[in-house]
Structures are given as C-alpha cells and as structure tokens.
C-alpha cells in the first residue's frame, strides 16, 4: 500500500514511538489522526504535522468508536493505516514487600495495553469492512505494538509482558480472520528505545540493557520505529507476524 494520500490513525501519537510514527507517516504524505489520552499534546503534534487530533481513552470501547468516527469525518474515509502505540509500562512484583499484591496494577496494564489495542483494532476493522479495496485487494493494515519483553520480560514485568504477549499472540489469528477482507495485521516488538517510558527506569537498568545490545550498541531511536511502520505498510506480503526491533538484544532477568 502506498502511504501518500492515505488516511492514517496513530494511538499514543502525542509522544514516544507514536509521535515519531505520526510524524514519519505525515512526512510520507499520509493524512494522520493523532489519538492520545493527552489531548493538548496530541493537538500540538497534529498541528505541527498538518494532521488532526482527538483526545481518547482507548480503554473505553464507546469512546474509541466515537474517536474513529471523528477521524473518518475529518478525512472522508476510514483510516487504512492504523498503528497502536498507546500503552503504559507500570512495573511491580507479583507479591512485593510485606506480601503486598499487585492485582490492581496488573488489571490496569492489561486494560490499557491489550484491551486498548483490541478496542482500536476492532472499530478500525469495522470501519474498513465497507471501504473500497485498493490495488491487489488490500483495504488496510493494522500495526500493533508488542515489546521484546513479551519473550524475555524482566522481574517486575509480569503485567507488562503479559499485555504485550497478548498483542503478539493475537497477531496471527487476527490476520487469518481478516484476510478475506484484505486487511493485514502485524506487530512490532521494540526493545529499549529513547522514549518517555524509558525515563522511569533506573539508570543502572538502562546501562545494563544497553550493554546487552550487540549492534548497534545503543538505545533505539523512535524514528527507526516509524521507518519500520512505513516499510510494513508498503510491503503487502508482510502479514500475521511479529517483528522484533531491538538490535538483537535479549533482556536480562533484572
């Protein structure tokens, strides 16, 4: 699918990987809607890239449906490029000090990361079903954000790894289900990137992970994520799989 002239929607588009993706797609000629819980920042990014913004809580299905309807009204068609980057990276041990449990945190992380991704994918697909097919029969592509942690999550990341594992696991069945509609589903599993989420990690943790990155021996750059998104959009034979974007790193236990 060509990017130029297509309607695109990026969740979590006000910062980090989502912002970089929104900027990259806009630079390639897409009409981008930026969805984010931070409506003010989303509006700022959208203004800078000539796009459109909607404040959105992805955990609320009815809100998501309304947000996608607004994006369709703005650009006159459903978004054919949908990138789910909205997420949170809260960490906690299953049972912490003095026997404290982390069930509320687990439920919140699952609701935002996995539930939010599923909500957006659901309503985006619903909108695409009636869209005219493009060359080759393609109607659109959904690109979800997993994480390297889905395969090698660290101590304290049970909730995060579970949420990202769910995103990775639903990639193939979703792609198989939506094949008849000409809608592809892919996932990207980034390693540690230079994003606001990373700032919450201790310096020693960042240094340890960086030392474990074979090549390039540095943190990922958000624009590299955006470049991969663009490559997936353009390559119609990429479907139903998860791509790790991590410099060949494998996260240590701690």
Please give the Cα distance from 29 to 80 (Å, whole number).
Answer: 13
Distance between CA atoms of 6 and 32, rounded to whole angstroms? 8
User: What is the spatial distance between Cα 11 and Cα 9, in angstroms, rounded to a whole number?
Assistant: 7
Where along the chain do its domains lie?
A: 7-245
Question: Could you read off the pLDDT of 101-130 as tens digits, one per residue?
Answer: 999 999 999 999 999 999 999 999 999 999
Catalytic-role residue among 118, 150, 160, 225? 160
Q: Are the C-beta atoms of 171 and 144 separated by less than 8 Å?
A: yes
Question: Can you give the pTM of this predicted structure?
Answer: 0.95
| pLDDT of 202 | 78
CATH superfamily of 7-245: NAD(P)-binding Rossmann-like Domain (3.40.50.720)
Question: What string of pLDDT tens digits covers the 254 residues of the chain?
Answer: 999 999 999 999 999 999 999 999 999 999 999 999 999 999 999 999 999 999 999 999 999 999 999 999 999 999 999 999 999 999 999 999 999 999 999 999 999 999 999 999 999 999 999 999 999 999 999 999 999 999 999 999 999 999 999 999 999 999 999 999 999 999 999 998 988 867 777 788 777 778 889 999 889 999 999 999 999 999 999 999 999 999 999 988 88
Whether 160 is a known active-site residue: answer: yes
């Amino acid at each position: 699918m060509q990017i130029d002239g297509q309607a695109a929607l990026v969740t979590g588009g006000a910062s980090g990987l989502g912002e970089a993706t929104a900027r990259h797609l806009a630079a390639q000629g897409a009409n981008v809607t930026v969805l984010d819980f931070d409506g003010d920042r989303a509006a700022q990014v959208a203004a800078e890239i000539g796009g459109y913004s909607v404040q959105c809580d992805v955990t609320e299905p009815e809100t998501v449906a309304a947000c996608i309807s607004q994006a369709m009204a703005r650009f006159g068609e459903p978004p054919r490029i949908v990138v789910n980057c909205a997420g949170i990276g809260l960490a906690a041990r299953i049972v912490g000090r003095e026997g404290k449990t982390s069930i509320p945190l687990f439920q919140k992380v699952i609701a935002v990361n996995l539930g939010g991704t599923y909500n957006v994918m659901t309503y985006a697909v619903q909108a695409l079903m009636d869209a005219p097919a493009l060359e080759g029969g393609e109607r659109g592509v959904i690109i979800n954000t997993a994480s390297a942690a889905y395969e090698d999550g660290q101590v304290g990341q049970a909730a995060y790894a579970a949420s990202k594992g769910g995103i990775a696991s639903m990639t193939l069945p979703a792609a198989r289900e939506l094949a008849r509609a000409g809608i592809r589903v892919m996932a990207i599993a980034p390693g540690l990137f230079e994003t606001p989420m990373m700032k919450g990690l201790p310096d020693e943790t960042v240094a340890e992970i960086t030392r474990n990155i074979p090549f390039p021996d540095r943190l990922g750059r958000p624009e590299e994520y955006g470049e991969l998104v663009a490559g997936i959009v353009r390559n119609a034979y990429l479907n139903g799989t998860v791509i790790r974007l991590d410099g060949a790193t494998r996260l240590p236990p701690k």
